[in-house]
Amino acid sequence: MTTFRDGAADTGLHGDRKLTLAEVLEVFASGRLPLKFTAYDGSSAGPDDATLGLDLLTPRGTTYLATAPGDLGLARAYVSGDLQLQGVHPGDPYDLLNALVQKLDFKRPSARVLAQVVRSIGIEHLKPIAPPPQEALPRWRRIAEGLRHSKTRDADAIHHHYDVSNTFYEWVLGPSMTYTCACYPHPDATLEEAQENKYRLVFEKLRLKPGDRLLDVGCGWGGMVRYAARHGVKAIGVTLSREQAQWARAAIERDGLGDLAEVRHSDYRDVRESQFDAVSSLGLTEHIGVANYPSYFRFLKSKLRPGGLLLNHCITRHNNRTGPAAGGFIDRYVFPDGELTGSGRIITEIQDVGLEVMHEENLRRHYALTLRDWCRNLVQHWDEAVAEVGLPTAKVWGLYMAASRVGFEQNSIQLHQVLAVKLDERGGDGGLPLRPWWTA
CB atoms within 10 A of CB 105: 12
Q: Do 209 and 278 form a contact (C-beta atoms < 8 A)?
A: no
Q: Cα 371 vs. chain centroid, distance in angstroms?
A: 10
pTM for the predicted model, two decimal places? 0.90
DSSP 3-state of 129: coil
Q: Which of 264, 270, 241, 242 lies closest to 252 in space, CA to CA?
A: 264
Question: Which of 146-155, 304-313, 374-383, 427-436 is least confident?
Answer: 146-155
Residue-level length of the chain: 440
Instruction: Name 77's Cβ contacts closer than 8 Å, sequence gap at least 6.
Output: 56, 60, 61, 64, 65, 83
d(CA 439, CA 3): 49
Enumerate the domain spans of the chain. 7-126, 152-422
3-state secondary structure of 188: coil
Q: Which residues pair with 52 in a beta bridge?
A: 35
Q: Is the pLDDT of residue 59 over 90?
A: yes
What are the start-end ranges of the H helices in 304-363?
328-329, 343-352
Q: How far from chain centre, in Å, is Cα 274?
A: 31
Q: Which of 337, 338, 285 has its CA nearest to residue 312?
A: 285
pLDDT of residue 10: 46
**Is residue 271 a contact partner of residue 287, using CB atoms and an 8 Å limit?**
no
Mean pLDDT of 58-69: 92
- With H, G, I as helix, E, B as strand and everything else as coil, classify residue 362: strand
Specify the amino acid at residue 250: A
pLDDT at site 163:
57
* 8-state DSSP, 290: G
Provide mean pLDDT across the span 225-250. Answer: 97
pLDDT at 52: 95
Report the SS3 class of residue 279: strand
pLDDT for position 101: 84
Give 270 or 118, the one with higher predicted confidence. Answer: 270
* pLDDT digit string, tens, across residues 205-231: 999 999 999 999 999 999 999 999 999
What pLDDT is recorded for position 222?
98
- H or E element, residue 308: strand 304-317
160 pLDDT higher than 70: no
Instruction: Supply the pLDDT for residue 206.
Output: 98
Checking if the pLDDT of 150 tops 60, the result is: no
Is residue 4 scored above 90 in pLDDT?
no
Q: Please state which of the ranges 1-15, 233-247, 266-280, 322-336 shows the lowest mean pLDDT.
A: 1-15
Cα within 13 Å of Cα(381), Cβ side: 21
Distances in Å between the Cα of 286 and the Cα atoms of 198, 229, 341, 364 are 19, 26, 9, 15
What single DSSP character describes residue 335?
Answer: -
Alpha-carbon torsion (225, 364, 400, 379), positive or negative: negative
Give kind and range of the element (H or E) at residue 28. helix 21-28
Domain 152-422, CATH number (from 3.30.70.360, 3.40.50.150, 3.40.50.261, 3.10.250.10): 3.40.50.150
In 122-264, which residue ranges form alpha helices assigned H by DSSP? 139-145, 151-162, 166-173, 191-205, 223-230, 242-254
